[in-house]
Structure 1
Amino acid sequence: MCHGVLGTVQVTAPALAGQYADVTYKELRDFQSGQRQSAVMQAIIAGRSDQDLHDLAVYYASLPLPAAAEKTRAGEGPDATATRLVMQGDPQRNIAPCAACHGQLDRKGAAPWLGGQSAAYLAAQLQAFASGARRNDINEQMRNVARQMTPEEIDAVARYYAAMQ
Structure 2
Amino acid sequence: MNLPQQSLILSFFFAVFFTLPTLAADSAGGEQKASSCVSCHGPNGNSSNSQWPNLAAQQPTYLVNQLKAFKAGDRINIMMQSMTADLSNVDINNLAGYFSSQKPVKAGGDPALAKSGEAKAAMCLGCHGSAAQGNGQFPRLAGQHPEYLVQQLKAFKDGSRKSGPMQAIIANLSEADFKALAAYFGSL
Runs of 4+ residues over 3 Å off in structure 1? 105-109
* Pair 1:105–1:65, CA change in 2 (3 A): closer
Matched, 1:55 2:94: yes
* Pair 1:6–1:109, CA change in 2 (3 A): closer
* Pair 1:50–1:156, CA change in 2 (3 A): same
Identity %: 29
C-alpha root-mean-square deviation of aligned residues, in Å? Answer: 1.8
* Pair 1:142–1:11, CA change in 2 (3 A): same
Equivalent position of 2:43 in the other structure: 5
Count of residue pairs brought into register by the alignment: 148
Asked if the contact 1:126/1:154 (under 8 Å) is kept, the reply is yes
- Equivalent residue in structure 2 for 1:101, among 122, 127, 141: 127
Considering fraction of residues, name the structure with more helix: 2
Calculate the TM-score normalised by the size of structure 2: 0.73
Asked if the contact 1:131/1:147 (under 8 Å) is kept, the reply is no
Structure 1: gaps spanning 5 or more residues:
88-96
Equivalent position of 2:176 in the other structure: 152
Looking at CA atoms only, which structure, 1 or 2, has the larger radius of gyration?
2
Equivalence map 1:11-160=2 (5 Å): 11-66=50-105, 68-73=106-111, 78-80=114-116, 82-87=117-122, 97-104=123-130, 108-135=135-162, 137=163, 140-160=164-184
Structure 2: gaps spanning 5 or more residues:
1-38
Asked if the contact 2:114/2:181 (under 8 Å) is kept, the reply is no
